[in-house]
């Protein structure tokens, strides 16, 4: 009788362990699914990082281009101011000579 009771208890323990194995298998499957999702998120973050890097380099190129264009325009404006001054000076001299 004692052995029958122990066999029943061992059977009960075996059933509980089988249930735990099943639950652990389910947890493993869920973790595998989460790993796949994390891999997908990592890939998307890498793509975003690469895209931002490309944008940063393009912006740097644009800044250099704009700086050069502004420098050229500044030089042109300085020349126009100089020519305007010279024209005003010439007009002044002409008016002075006419009188």
Distance, in Å, from the CA atom of 52 to the CA atom of 55, rounded to the nearest integer, reads 5
C-alpha–C-alpha distance, residues 64 and 58, integer Å: 10
Express each pLDDT in 86-95 by its tens digit.
999 999 999 9
* Residue-wise pLDDT tens digits, 36-82: 899 999 999 999 999 999 999 899 999 999 999 999 999 999 999 99
The DSSP secondary structure of 28-92, one letter per residue, reads HHHHHHHHHHHHHHHHHHHHHHHHHHHHHHHHHHHHHHHHHHHHHHHHHHHHHHHHHHHHHHHHH
Q: State both tokens at 15.
A: 């059933």
pLDDT at residue 5 above 90? no
- Predicted confidence band of residue 28 (pLDDT cuts 50, 70, 90): very high
């Amino acid at each position: 009788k004692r052995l029958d009771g122990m066999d029943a208890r061992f059977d009960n323990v075996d059933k509980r362990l089988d249930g735990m194995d099943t639950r652990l298998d389910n947890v493993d499957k869920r973790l595998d699914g989460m790993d796949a999702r994390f891999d997908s998120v990592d890939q998307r973050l890498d793509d975003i990082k690469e895209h931002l890097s490309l944008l940063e380099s393009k912006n740097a190129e644009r800044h250099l281009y704009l700086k050069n264009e502004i420098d050229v325009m500044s030089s042109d404006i300085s020349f126009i101011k100089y020519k305007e001054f010279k024209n005003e000076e010439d007009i002044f001299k002409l008016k002075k000579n006419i009188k």
